[in-house]
Structure 1
């Protein structure tokens, strides 16, 4: 290697080194905030799940795997896990299907599209506590929904006092709350699909369903992945609607993992056990997101 080649290599290495230093300097503030507000809380949560005691003068004591053994043997946890699975699946499906259908319709509508998009989006920016109070008023025993049923000659339903009906009311609220956000996301994804693809399919004799299946869904793959992941995360972290409307009842039928964690931590003051439940919830969320990424991966 000649002297000139060695000098050129040294200059390239210096430029790369300077670029790396600049990149790390620009990333440092975000990485520090990420470490403080995300990595450290998660690490402390995992540590807390191996302890017992409280944040008092007595302090925390190492408890090993006892919290996780208790979690496995606790029948309430298995009921809460079943409630969480039911709530998540029954919320995610309509929260994706209904907005997708509405977005396809709105994408073909020019008149009032902006107004309708705004109207559908309003629930997403409304306080979940306020919405929960509104739904509790609607579905109370002497509320408007039961008055309407009586008008139609149907016996009133104890919506929030029935183990059978309380969870569907929560699912209805959560799906309605998520509808607007997903609709706007799907509408943006639809508008990014070239119109020429639909015109070519129409010339080839494809019907609306064939165009939807072979053009719309493949074109929305990244959008569907984003909407699915965010909807699952939103559903798994649901707390306000349970707290405001049912308090986990009746008969523990609407108690889900986040609310159960809250009860163990701030009602029973069993922070170690609550941290173990929260750690399991974190692992479930990570696992579900991983499965979704694999399911929606490009073939």
Structure 2
């Protein structure tokens, strides 16, 4: 993985909106970005829309070169398109797309995102990295025993028809001139991180089987010179500690600097908040940016343990490293 001089991360979709909290010098809030772009007065007609899901645009710079990767697209095309337009984001530079795992809240807007990218770049197909296990019908079981099905991830034919050069793989890859690392399947090593409890998937025969491990999940990483490795984990169904352990193992000579994304410490996984917070300490991260599915209890516990190193993400927020 090539080192880059700097990186800019824009959250196009996230569960929360927050422009009022105090701001460290390395990020810009949604309000500040809109004012800088010419918003003459504060108005809801200018603002982004928060939604249950995640999408972030990561741009890295090295000398005169820059590369941009779209990490997930959020749940729904209207939210993605509205936020991209209101933030004034130019999608023409997107050189690759990564879908982190096969859930609707990360994949629902992907066809429209690809349309917008190819409309901006002159119609060039976009390398789109996906795991072949992402496309199965998934569900959770309710208390009365019924299965609550999830929206399917758009299929290869749909994505290809909207501009994707779909690259299905279970293995690690590099993207955009080796400036982005796309992980393979994440080893499950910790005793307390158990995936997505109670999730099922439909088999080819129409039967339902437990699908708690979710092998299709992967993370993205970059190496910012002078800082270290920055990891992007959309939902951490593999477990945040397993994700960081694998990132460290893949690049043992690059210190971990920060982690962005959903840590999935809400709902049934709230029980592992204390173990997760404690297990983070040895990584000595300088920046912890929880968002999406992390949950308020976990964000509070992380902030209590790690203080100003914890800077939650929010829709429209831009981080500069």
TM-score interval for Structure 1 and Structure 2 normalised by the shorter chain = under 0.3
Bigger radius of gyration, 1 or 2? 1
Q: Which of 1 and 2 has higher RCO (CA within 8 Å, sep 6+)?
A: 1
**Normalized against structure 2, the TM-score is what?**
0.21
**Structure number with higher helix proportion:** 1
**Structure number with higher strand proportion:** 2
**Normalized against structure 1, the TM-score is what?**
0.22
